[in-house]
Structure 1
Amino acid sequence: MKDEELPRRLRDAAGAHRPDRERMLARVERGMNGGNTPARVVRPPRAVTPWLRVAGATAAVCGVLAVGAFAVTSTGGDGSHGEQVAAPVTSSPTAAATPPAPLGALRAEDGPLWTDGVVDPHSNAYWAQSNVTLRTTEPLSSLTVELRIALTGGVNTTGSWRSLPERDFTVSATEDGGYLVYRWALKAGRTVPAGTHTFAGQYDHAEGDRDATGDYVTAHAVRASGERASVGDRFGPDR
Structure 2
Amino acid sequence: MKLTEDELRAVLRAEAAAHTPDRVAILSRVTETAMRTEAARGRGPRIRIAGAAVAVAAVVGGGGFAQWALAGMGDERPTLPPPPAVTASVAPAVTETAEPAPAPSLSLSPSRPSSSRRPTRSKTPSAPPAGALWSDGSVDVGGKTQASSVVTIKTTERLTALTVTIRLVRTDRLAGRGGSQQVPGASVNSAVIEEADALVYRFTLSSGDTLEPGTYTFFARYTYAEGGRDAGADTYAATATSANGAALNAGGAFG
TM-score (norm 1): 0.50
- SS of equivalent to 1:191: coil
The within-5 A match list for 1:133-212 is: 133-165=152-184, 168-176=187-195, 178-212=197-231
In 2, Cα distance between equivalents of 1:159 and 1:207: 20
Distance 1:207 1:166, change over 3 A: farther
Paired letter, 2:139: V
Distance 1:196 1:125, change over 3 A: same
Percent identity over the alignment? 39
| Structure-2 residue corresponding to 1:119 | 139
User: Shift in Å at residue 192 of structure 1?
Assistant: 1.3
CA contact (8 A) 1:110 1:231 kept: no
User: Shift in Å at residue 159 of structure 1?
Assistant: 2.1
CA contact (8 A) 2:167 2:200 kept: yes
Distance 1:131 1:110, change over 3 A: farther
The within-5 A match list for 1:27-176 is: 111-120=131-140, 122-165=141-184, 168-176=187-195
- SS of equivalent to 1:192: coil
Q: Can you give the 5+ residue segments of structure 1 that lack an aligned partner in the other structure?
A: 1-108
- CA RMSD of superposed structures (Å): 1.8
CA contact (8 A) 1:111 1:229 kept: no
Q: Can you give the 5+ residue segments of structure 2 that lack an aligned partner in the other structure?
A: 1-128
Paired letter, 1:224: A
Paired letter, 1:197: Y
In 2, Cα distance between equivalents of 1:188 and 1:174: 21
Paired letter, 1:208: G
Paired letter, 1:221: A
Distance 1:110 1:175, change over 3 A: farther
Distance 1:110 1:154, change over 3 A: farther
User: Shift in Å at residue 225 of structure 1?
Assistant: 0.8
| Structure-2 residue corresponding to 1:9 | none
TM-score (norm 2): 0.47
Divergent runs of 4+, >3 A: none
Paired letter, 1:139: R
In 2, Cα distance between equivalents of 1:164 and 1:196: 8
Distance 1:154 1:145, change over 3 A: same
Could you say which structure has the higher strand fraction? 1
* Aligned pairs, number: 127
User: Shift in Å at residue 124 of structure 1?
Assistant: 2.5
| CA deviation map 1:190-228 (0-9, x unaligned) | 001111110001001011121001111100000111000
| CA deviation map 1:45-89 (0-9, x unaligned) | xxxxxxxxxxxxxxxxxxxxxxxxxxxxxxxxxxxxxxxxxxxxx
In 2, Cα distance between equivalents of 1:167 and 1:114: 19
Larger radius of gyration: 2
CA contact (8 A) 1:110 1:230 kept: no
CA contact (8 A) 1:133 1:196 kept: yes
In 1, Cα distance between equivalents of 2:175 and 2:196: 15
| CA deviation map 1:147-200 (0-9, x unaligned) | 111111111111221001496112100112511111001111100111111000
